[in-house]
Amino acid sequence: MIDKNMMRIILILAICGFVGCASNRNVLLVKQIESTNPVVLRMKKDKSSIFSLSYPLSFKVKKNDDRDIYYAENSYLFHNEGLSSGTAGCYLMTDDEDNSLTSSYYKVFNGYTLYIIDKNDTIKEWMSAYYKKMMDEHKDTIHVPLKEFNSNFGYIIDNFFEGDSIYLHFHDHKRWHDIPLRVSFN
């Protein structure tokens, strides 16, 4: 038969086991926010068409515990793989270039995802006015305000960009915390 001391030890071990198995859910709070950066269109070197479209993305991140957590990288999943740049990433950085998170405030990560559009005739046709403007002004790059792009090119967003996802990878020096998000273009 088990005596009281043995029962206490078993109870303490069971409690420690349950505490050690605490869920890592909600360690981080991540939300996509509206970017203040423009869409960037770049022309091919031979100036025959617009080659790429860089779409701005911004995320607000806050950690909810005392662990030392930092942003490491991301994996970008294109819904339309024909527009993928092949890097499967979205370069994100903070204004202070410090990827460590503190729990006292939100940290904003800004970046761009790159779409290669020169082989997509539909998108090239929709961008023809910007191509003409770039040729007329002898520019190889043009910045389009995000609100203007979103209001004028809903067809492109709905048919080519919508459905993209991103995994934000954070690390606490012991384990990875992967946050999957569906990218919003509104």
SS3 76: strand
Q: What is the pLDDT of residue 34?
A: 94
In this structure, is residue 7 part of a structural domain?
A: no
In this structure, is residue 98 part of a structural domain?
A: yes
SS3 128: helix
In this structure, is residue 15 part of a structural domain?
A: no
SS3 10: helix
- How many residues make up the chain in this entry? 186
Residue 77 one-letter amino acid = L
The alpha carbon of residue 113 and the mean position of all alpha carbons in its chain are separated, in whole angstroms, by 8
In this structure, is residue 71 part of a structural domain?
A: yes
Q: What is the pLDDT of residue 20?
A: 44
In this structure, is residue 144 part of a structural domain?
A: yes
Q: What is the pLDDT of residue 22?
A: 45
In this structure, is residue 10 part of a structural domain?
A: no
Tens-digit pLDDT profile for the chain (186 aa)? 567 665 666 656 555 444 444 445 678 899 999 999 999 999 999 989 999 999 999 999 998 888 889 989 999 999 888 888 776 568 898 888 888 887 667 899 999 999 999 999 999 999 999 999 999 999 999 999 999 999 999 999 999 999 999 999 999 889 999 999 999 997
Please give the tally of structural domains in the chain: 1
Its pTM stands at 0.81
* Nearest to 115, CA basis, from 126, 102, 100, 103: 126
Locate the DSSP E strands across 34-171: 39-43, 50-63, 70-77, 91-93, 107-116, 141-144, 165-171
